[in-house]
Structure 1
Amino acid sequence: MTRRGPFADVWFRAASSVHAGLLRLSRWHLGAGIAGMPVVLLRTTGRRSGRPREVVLSSPVIDGDRVVLVASKGGDDRDPDWYRNLVADPSVELTVHGVARRMTARTADEAERAELWPLITAAYRGYAGYQRRTSRRIPLVICEPRD
Protein backbone atom coordinates (compact mmCIF):
# COMPACT_ATOMS: atom_id res chain seq x y z
CA MET A 1 0.00 0.00 0.00
CA THR A 2 1.36 3.40 -0.98
CA ARG A 3 -0.03 6.58 0.43
CA ARG A 4 1.77 9.84 0.36
CA GLY A 5 1.19 12.43 3.03
CA PRO A 6 -0.45 15.83 2.71
CA PHE A 7 2.93 17.48 2.11
CA ALA A 8 3.26 15.59 -1.19
CA ASP A 9 -0.21 16.80 -2.25
CA VAL A 10 0.65 20.42 -1.39
CA TRP A 11 3.99 20.14 -3.17
CA PHE A 12 2.33 18.73 -6.31
CA ARG A 13 -0.27 21.53 -6.37
CA ALA A 14 2.42 24.19 -5.94
CA ALA A 15 4.67 22.67 -8.61
CA SER A 16 1.73 22.39 -10.99
CA SER A 17 0.81 26.04 -10.43
CA VAL A 18 4.37 27.21 -11.08
CA HIS A 19 4.58 25.00 -14.16
CA ALA A 20 1.29 26.43 -15.52
CA GLY A 21 2.64 29.95 -15.00
CA LEU A 22 5.85 29.08 -16.87
CA LEU A 23 3.85 27.68 -19.77
CA ARG A 24 1.74 30.84 -20.01
CA LEU A 25 4.64 33.29 -19.62
CA SER A 26 6.73 31.50 -22.25
CA ARG A 27 3.74 30.96 -24.55
CA TRP A 28 4.33 27.22 -24.29
CA HIS A 29 7.99 27.42 -25.32
CA LEU A 30 9.31 26.36 -21.88
CA GLY A 31 8.09 23.34 -19.94
CA ALA A 32 5.92 21.93 -22.71
CA GLY A 33 7.33 18.43 -22.27
CA ILE A 34 8.21 16.05 -19.45
CA ALA A 35 10.13 12.78 -19.87
CA GLY A 36 9.62 12.93 -23.64
CA MET A 37 5.85 13.38 -23.32
CA PRO A 38 3.86 16.50 -24.16
CA VAL A 39 2.44 18.49 -21.27
CA VAL A 40 -1.23 19.41 -21.10
CA LEU A 41 -3.11 21.84 -18.89
CA LEU A 42 -6.33 20.29 -17.59
CA ARG A 43 -9.14 22.44 -16.21
CA THR A 44 -11.90 20.72 -14.26
CA THR A 45 -14.68 21.87 -11.98
CA GLY A 46 -14.15 21.09 -8.30
CA ARG A 47 -16.59 18.38 -7.29
CA ARG A 48 -17.23 19.95 -3.87
CA SER A 49 -16.47 23.63 -4.42
CA GLY A 50 -17.81 24.05 -7.94
CA ARG A 51 -14.77 26.26 -8.61
CA PRO A 52 -12.42 25.92 -11.57
CA ARG A 53 -9.37 23.73 -10.90
CA GLU A 54 -6.25 23.48 -13.02
CA VAL A 55 -3.43 20.96 -13.15
CA VAL A 56 -0.43 20.35 -15.40
CA LEU A 57 -0.11 16.72 -16.54
CA SER A 58 1.86 14.76 -19.07
CA SER A 59 0.06 12.92 -21.83
CA PRO A 60 1.70 9.74 -23.05
CA VAL A 61 -0.78 9.33 -25.92
CA ILE A 62 -2.17 12.04 -28.18
CA ASP A 63 -3.89 10.47 -31.15
CA GLY A 64 -5.48 13.06 -33.41
CA ASP A 65 -8.21 14.72 -31.34
CA ARG A 66 -8.01 12.09 -28.58
CA VAL A 67 -5.80 12.82 -25.58
CA VAL A 68 -5.07 10.14 -22.99
CA LEU A 69 -4.20 10.97 -19.38
CA VAL A 70 -3.01 8.63 -16.65
CA ALA A 71 -4.50 9.09 -13.15
CA SER A 72 -1.42 7.57 -11.51
CA LYS A 73 -0.71 10.03 -8.68
CA GLY A 74 2.78 8.53 -8.65
CA GLY A 75 1.49 5.13 -7.53
CA ASP A 76 -0.45 6.48 -4.54
CA ASP A 77 -3.40 4.37 -3.39
CA ARG A 78 -5.72 7.36 -3.81
CA ASP A 79 -7.04 8.66 -7.11
CA PRO A 80 -5.85 12.19 -7.89
CA ASP A 81 -8.28 15.02 -7.14
CA TRP A 82 -8.36 16.03 -10.81
CA TYR A 83 -9.59 12.55 -11.70
CA ARG A 84 -12.35 12.61 -9.08
CA ASN A 85 -13.37 16.05 -10.36
CA LEU A 86 -13.76 14.90 -13.96
CA VAL A 87 -15.66 11.78 -12.93
CA ALA A 88 -18.15 14.10 -11.18
CA ASP A 89 -18.24 16.51 -14.16
CA PRO A 90 -16.70 15.20 -17.41
CA SER A 91 -16.83 18.60 -19.15
CA VAL A 92 -13.21 19.75 -19.11
CA GLU A 93 -10.92 22.14 -20.92
CA LEU A 94 -7.61 20.82 -22.13
CA THR A 95 -4.76 22.97 -23.42
CA VAL A 96 -2.35 21.11 -25.68
CA HIS A 97 0.57 22.91 -27.36
CA GLY A 98 -0.95 26.20 -26.17
CA VAL A 99 -4.36 25.59 -27.77
CA ALA A 100 -7.32 25.30 -25.36
CA ARG A 101 -10.22 23.03 -26.32
CA ARG A 102 -13.44 22.05 -24.62
CA MET A 103 -13.48 18.30 -24.19
CA THR A 104 -15.38 15.47 -22.57
CA ALA A 105 -13.37 13.14 -20.35
CA ARG A 106 -14.18 9.55 -19.54
CA THR A 107 -12.47 6.59 -17.96
CA ALA A 108 -11.24 4.06 -20.49
CA ASP A 109 -13.07 0.74 -20.39
CA GLU A 110 -11.13 -2.51 -19.98
CA ALA A 111 -10.73 -3.11 -23.74
CA GLU A 112 -9.45 0.43 -24.29
CA ARG A 113 -7.13 0.11 -21.29
CA ALA A 114 -5.70 -3.15 -22.65
CA GLU A 115 -4.98 -1.41 -25.96
CA LEU A 116 -3.58 1.79 -24.41
CA TRP A 117 -1.49 0.48 -21.50
CA PRO A 118 1.38 -0.87 -23.66
CA LEU A 119 1.55 2.48 -25.51
CA ILE A 120 1.57 4.36 -22.22
CA THR A 121 4.33 2.29 -20.65
CA ALA A 122 6.35 2.52 -23.89
CA ALA A 123 6.11 6.32 -23.67
CA TYR A 124 7.17 6.32 -20.00
CA ARG A 125 8.22 3.17 -18.16
CA GLY A 126 7.59 4.86 -14.82
CA TYR A 127 3.85 4.23 -15.20
CA ALA A 128 4.43 0.47 -14.93
CA GLY A 129 6.27 1.11 -11.67
CA TYR A 130 3.43 3.26 -10.39
CA GLN A 131 0.99 0.43 -11.11
CA ARG A 132 3.16 -2.06 -9.23
CA ARG A 133 3.37 0.35 -6.28
CA THR A 134 -0.39 0.53 -5.72
CA SER A 135 -3.21 -1.95 -5.26
CA ARG A 136 -5.69 0.21 -7.19
CA ARG A 137 -6.10 -0.11 -10.93
CA ILE A 138 -4.72 3.17 -12.28
CA PRO A 139 -7.45 4.77 -14.38
CA LEU A 140 -6.77 5.92 -17.91
CA VAL A 141 -8.73 8.95 -19.03
CA ILE A 142 -9.72 9.56 -22.63
CA CYS A 143 -10.47 13.17 -23.53
CA GLU A 144 -12.32 13.84 -26.76
CA PRO A 145 -13.62 17.09 -28.30
CA ARG A 146 -17.00 18.19 -27.04
CA ASP A 147 -19.62 18.76 -29.72
Structure 2
Amino acid sequence: MLGSLTRRVGHHRWFGAAARLLVPADRLVGRLTRGRVVALGLIPSLVVTTTGRRSGKPRSNPLLYVPDGDAYVVIGSNWGQQHQPGWAMNLLADPAAEVDIKGRRTRVRAEVATGAERDRLWQLLVTEWPAYRTYVERAGGREIRIFRLVPVPDGPPDGAPGR
Protein backbone atom coordinates (compact mmCIF):
# COMPACT_ATOMS: atom_id res chain seq x y z
CA MET A 1 0.00 0.00 0.00
CA LEU A 2 2.76 2.48 0.88
CA GLY A 3 4.50 1.66 -2.42
CA SER A 4 1.38 2.50 -4.45
CA LEU A 5 0.88 5.72 -2.44
CA THR A 6 4.50 6.66 -3.06
CA ARG A 7 4.05 6.06 -6.79
CA ARG A 8 0.96 8.33 -6.84
CA VAL A 9 2.60 11.25 -5.03
CA GLY A 10 5.81 10.89 -7.05
CA HIS A 11 4.36 13.23 -9.71
CA HIS A 12 4.12 16.20 -7.35
CA ARG A 13 6.91 18.78 -7.35
CA TRP A 14 6.99 18.83 -3.52
CA PHE A 15 7.73 15.09 -3.54
CA GLY A 16 10.83 15.62 -5.67
CA ALA A 17 12.04 18.38 -3.35
CA ALA A 18 11.36 16.32 -0.23
CA ALA A 19 12.94 13.24 -1.74
CA ARG A 20 16.13 15.14 -2.58
CA LEU A 21 16.37 16.13 1.07
CA LEU A 22 15.84 12.52 2.16
CA VAL A 23 18.58 11.06 -0.08
CA PRO A 24 21.35 11.72 2.49
CA ALA A 25 19.23 10.03 5.17
CA ASP A 26 18.56 7.16 2.77
CA ARG A 27 22.32 6.76 2.18
CA LEU A 28 22.87 6.58 5.95
CA VAL A 29 20.12 3.99 6.46
CA GLY A 30 21.56 2.00 3.56
CA ARG A 31 25.02 2.04 5.14
CA LEU A 32 23.74 1.15 8.61
CA THR A 33 21.70 -1.78 7.25
CA ARG A 34 24.49 -2.84 4.87
CA GLY A 35 22.26 -2.09 1.90
CA ARG A 36 19.31 -4.16 3.11
CA VAL A 37 16.99 -1.15 3.43
CA VAL A 38 16.99 1.59 0.81
CA ALA A 39 14.12 3.97 -0.03
CA LEU A 40 12.48 2.71 3.15
CA GLY A 41 11.81 -0.57 1.34
CA LEU A 42 8.85 1.04 -0.49
CA ILE A 43 10.16 0.67 -4.04
CA PRO A 44 12.79 -1.56 -5.66
CA SER A 45 16.03 0.24 -4.88
CA LEU A 46 19.75 -0.29 -5.11
CA VAL A 47 22.80 1.68 -4.09
CA VAL A 48 25.15 2.41 -6.98
CA THR A 49 28.76 3.27 -6.18
CA THR A 50 30.60 5.13 -8.91
CA THR A 51 34.02 6.72 -9.08
CA GLY A 52 33.86 10.51 -8.82
CA ARG A 53 34.94 11.93 -12.18
CA ARG A 54 36.81 14.81 -10.52
CA SER A 55 37.67 13.46 -7.07
CA GLY A 56 38.40 9.85 -8.01
CA LYS A 57 36.66 8.86 -4.76
CA PRO A 58 33.79 6.38 -4.41
CA ARG A 59 30.35 8.02 -4.53
CA SER A 60 27.24 6.08 -3.46
CA ASN A 61 23.66 6.94 -4.39
CA PRO A 62 20.37 5.15 -3.74
CA LEU A 63 18.32 4.68 -6.92
CA LEU A 64 15.11 3.06 -8.04
CA TYR A 65 15.80 0.25 -10.48
CA VAL A 66 14.02 -2.33 -12.59
CA PRO A 67 15.52 -5.72 -13.40
CA ASP A 68 16.21 -6.60 -17.02
CA GLY A 69 17.46 -10.16 -17.24
CA ASP A 70 20.57 -10.25 -15.06
CA ALA A 71 21.08 -6.47 -15.42
CA TYR A 72 19.68 -3.48 -13.52
CA VAL A 73 18.09 -0.49 -15.27
CA VAL A 74 18.38 2.99 -13.76
CA ILE A 75 17.58 6.45 -15.07
CA GLY A 76 19.35 9.78 -14.55
CA SER A 77 16.13 11.71 -13.99
CA ASN A 78 17.46 13.80 -11.09
CA TRP A 79 13.83 14.31 -10.01
CA GLY A 80 13.24 16.35 -13.17
CA GLN A 81 15.91 18.97 -12.54
CA GLN A 82 17.56 20.75 -15.46
CA HIS A 83 20.97 19.10 -14.91
CA GLN A 84 22.22 15.53 -14.94
CA PRO A 85 22.80 13.85 -11.57
CA GLY A 86 26.43 13.49 -10.52
CA TRP A 87 26.29 9.69 -10.46
CA ALA A 88 25.21 9.64 -14.13
CA MET A 89 28.07 11.94 -15.10
CA ASN A 90 30.42 9.66 -13.16
CA LEU A 91 29.17 6.62 -15.12
CA LEU A 92 29.71 8.45 -18.40
CA ALA A 93 33.30 9.16 -17.36
CA ASP A 94 33.94 5.66 -15.98
CA PRO A 95 31.30 2.97 -16.58
CA ALA A 96 32.74 0.60 -13.96
CA ALA A 97 30.60 0.64 -10.81
CA GLU A 98 29.17 -1.49 -8.04
CA VAL A 99 25.57 -2.04 -7.01
CA ASP A 100 24.33 -3.13 -3.61
CA ILE A 101 20.90 -4.71 -3.44
CA LYS A 102 19.71 -5.90 -0.04
CA GLY A 103 23.29 -6.29 1.13
CA ARG A 104 24.52 -8.18 -1.95
CA ARG A 105 27.27 -6.34 -3.83
CA THR A 106 27.81 -6.85 -7.55
CA ARG A 107 30.36 -5.26 -9.87
CA VAL A 108 28.71 -3.82 -12.98
CA ARG A 109 29.52 -2.00 -16.19
CA ALA A 110 27.14 0.78 -17.26
CA GLU A 111 25.79 0.92 -20.79
CA VAL A 112 23.83 3.95 -22.02
CA ALA A 113 20.65 2.76 -23.72
CA THR A 114 19.83 4.18 -27.14
CA GLY A 115 17.25 3.69 -29.88
CA ALA A 116 14.79 0.83 -29.61
CA GLU A 117 16.59 -0.54 -26.54
CA ARG A 118 16.08 2.80 -24.77
CA ASP A 119 12.38 2.78 -25.70
CA ARG A 120 11.98 -0.76 -24.31
CA LEU A 121 13.75 0.10 -21.05
CA TRP A 122 11.76 3.35 -20.73
CA GLN A 123 8.55 1.29 -20.71
CA LEU A 124 9.94 -0.91 -17.92
CA LEU A 125 10.88 2.17 -15.89
CA VAL A 126 7.58 4.04 -16.20
CA THR A 127 5.66 0.89 -15.38
CA GLU A 128 7.52 0.80 -12.05
CA TRP A 129 7.60 4.58 -11.48
CA PRO A 130 5.04 6.52 -13.61
CA ALA A 131 6.36 9.84 -12.27
CA TYR A 132 9.33 9.55 -14.66
CA ARG A 133 7.01 10.98 -17.33
CA THR A 134 6.53 14.05 -15.13
CA TYR A 135 10.29 14.32 -14.55
CA VAL A 136 10.88 14.47 -18.32
CA GLU A 137 8.43 17.40 -18.57
CA ARG A 138 10.12 19.20 -15.66
CA ALA A 139 13.55 18.70 -17.20
CA GLY A 140 12.40 20.90 -20.08
CA GLY A 141 13.41 18.57 -22.88
CA ARG A 142 16.80 17.63 -21.43
CA GLU A 143 17.76 14.13 -22.51
CA ILE A 144 17.40 11.85 -19.52
CA ARG A 145 19.85 9.00 -19.87
CA ILE A 146 18.89 5.43 -19.15
CA PHE A 147 21.63 3.08 -18.01
CA ARG A 148 21.70 -0.68 -18.08
CA LEU A 149 24.04 -1.89 -15.33
CA VAL A 150 25.40 -5.24 -16.49
CA PRO A 151 27.12 -7.55 -13.97
CA VAL A 152 30.78 -8.31 -14.69
CA PRO A 153 32.72 -11.36 -13.50
CA ASP A 154 34.52 -10.92 -10.19
CA GLY A 155 37.67 -12.71 -11.20
CA PRO A 156 39.53 -14.31 -14.06
CA PRO A 157 37.49 -16.91 -15.98
CA ASP A 158 37.97 -20.65 -15.37
CA GLY A 159 41.41 -20.81 -13.80
CA ALA A 160 42.97 -18.15 -16.02
CA PRO A 161 45.84 -16.30 -14.38
CA GLY A 162 45.01 -13.14 -12.42
CA ARG A 163 45.77 -9.69 -13.76
The correspondence of residues 45-60 of structure 1 with structure 2, limited to 5 A, is: 45-59=51-65
Q: Which residue is equivalent to 1:16?
A: 23
> How far, CA to CA, are the matches of 2:99 and 2:37 in structure 1?
17
Partner secondary structure for residue 104 of structure 1: strand
Alignment of 1:1-147 (within 5 A): 12=20, 15-27=22-34, 28-29=36-37, 31=39, 33-34=41-42, 37-59=43-65, 61-134=66-139, 135-147=141-153
Superposed displacement of residue 114, structure 1: 0.9
CA displacement at 1:68 relative to structure 2: 0.3
CA RMSD of aligned residues (A): 2.0
Identity percentage over the alignment?
A: 35
Aligned length: 134
Letter in 2 for 1:55: N
Contact kept, 8 Å, 2:80 with 2:135, in 1: the verdict is yes
One-letter code aligned to 1:93: E
- Cα distance in 1 for partners of 2:95, 2:60 equals 14
Larger Rg: 2
1:124, 1:78 → 2: CA distance? 20
TM normalised by structure 1 equals 0.82
* 8 Å contact kept, 2:111–2:148: yes
| TM-score, with structure 2 as normaliser | 0.74
Q: 2:135 corresponds to which letter in structure 1?
A: Y
- Write the deviation string for residues 101-125 of structure 1: whole angstroms up to 9, x where unpaired: 1100121112111111122111111
Structure 1: state its 5+ residue gaps: 1-7
> 1: distance between equivalents of 2:38 and 2:61?
16
1: CA distance, partners of 2:100 / 2:48: 7
Equivalent AA in structure 1 for residue 29 of structure 2: L
Name the structure with the higher strand share. 1
Q: Is the 8 A contact 2:39 2:62 kept in 1?
A: no
Between the aligned partners of 1:30 and 1:41, the Cα distance in structure 2 is 8
Q: Which blocks of at least 5 consecutive residues in structure 2 are unaligned?
A: 1-16, 154-163
